[in-house]
């Protein structure tokens, strides 16, 4: 076998393996998921999350998910009033208000969040360091449906949307 033919044959054999690491171009969320999303309705099947969400809302604190262009993901807390966020920092592990992970887009509406920190696992009430969910996005509204049927609703944070438009 000639050298160019052998190289072409080796590349043909390796192509399916190399393609597995790339995000699926058939993702419905490819151009819409990037940005910071505020949780507007907590996981509907978790009474503790619903109660906690109501308490945070009374204090002016909200939870968000941040999907970055480079595949990094953050779950965090924000507040309109800095005093409220300072109060929350005192009660969270290490005073952190943001917990990192990574995400990848899969075929259709599927999104996988992985490499979750222990804190993020607790906040997202998952046992593994990864989870797959169905994510549907319509304009500035996001609905996350977990495999157990739990639904969480989010809205794009307006200041983030304005910043993204300026960056482009």
Residue 16 lies in a domain: no
Closest CA to 65 of 79, 53, 77, 54: 77
Structural domain boundaries enclosing 115 = 23-167
Q: How many domains does the chain have?
A: 1
Residue 112 lies in a domain: yes
For residue range 27-43, list pLDDT tens digits in order.
Answer: 999 989 999 999 999 88
pLDDT at 22: 53
- How confident is residue 165, by pLDDT bands cut at 50, 70 and 90? very low
Residue 9 lies in a domain: no
User: Which residues, listed in sequence order, are joined to residue 155 by a DSSP beta bridge?
Assistant: 38, 141
For residue range 44-103, list pLDDT tens digits in order.
Answer: 887 888 888 888 888 899 999 999 999 999 999 999 888 888 888 888 777 889 999 999
Residue 132 lies in a domain: yes
Number of H helices, E strands in the chain: 5, 8
Lowest mean pLDDT, pick from 9-13, 20-24, 130-134: 9-13
For residue range 110-145, list pLDDT tens digits in order.
Answer: 999 999 888 877 777 777 778 899 999 999 999 999
Distance CA 65, CA 43 (A): 13
pLDDT at 159: 67
Distance CA 85, CA 88 (A): 5
pLDDT at 19: 42
Residue 13 lies in a domain: no
Q: State the average pLDDT over residues 137-157.
A: 94
Residue ranges in 69-111 assigned as alpha helix (H): 82-91
pLDDT at 158: 83
Residue 162 lies in a domain: yes
- What is this structure's pTM? 0.76
Distance CA 31, CA 19 (A): 20
pLDDT at 74: 94
- The CATH number for 80's domain is 2.40.128.280
pLDDT at 63: 92
User: Which residues, listed in sequence order, are joined to residue 40 by a DSSP beta bridge?
Assistant: none
Residue 3 lies in a domain: no
What is the average pLDDT score of the chain?
80
Q: What's the token pair of residue 88?
A: 């929350």
Residue 109 lies in a domain: yes
Distance CA 132, CA 26 (A): 16
Distance CA 32, CA 122 (A): 27
């Amino acid at each position: 076998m000639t050298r160019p033919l052998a190289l072409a044959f080796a590349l043909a054999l390796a192509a399916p393996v190399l393609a597995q690491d790339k995000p699926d171009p058939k993702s419905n969320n490819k151009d819409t998921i990037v940005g910071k999303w505020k949780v507007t309705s907590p996981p509907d099947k978790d009474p503790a999350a619903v109660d906690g969400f109501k308490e945070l809302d009374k204090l002016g604190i909200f939870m968000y998910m941040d999907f970055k262009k480079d595949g990094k993901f953050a779950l965090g807390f924000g507040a309109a009033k800095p005093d409220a966020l300072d109060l929350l920092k005192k009660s969270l592990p290490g005073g952190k208000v943001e917990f990192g992970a990574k995400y990848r887009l899969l075929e259709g509406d599927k999104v996988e969040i992985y490499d979750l920190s222990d804190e993020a696992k607790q906040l997202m009430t998952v046992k593994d360091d990864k989870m797959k969910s169905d994510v549907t996005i319509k304009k500035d509204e996001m609905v996350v449906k977990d495999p157990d049927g739990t639904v969480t609703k989010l809205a794009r944070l307006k200041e983030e949307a304005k910043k993204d438009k300026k960056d482009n």
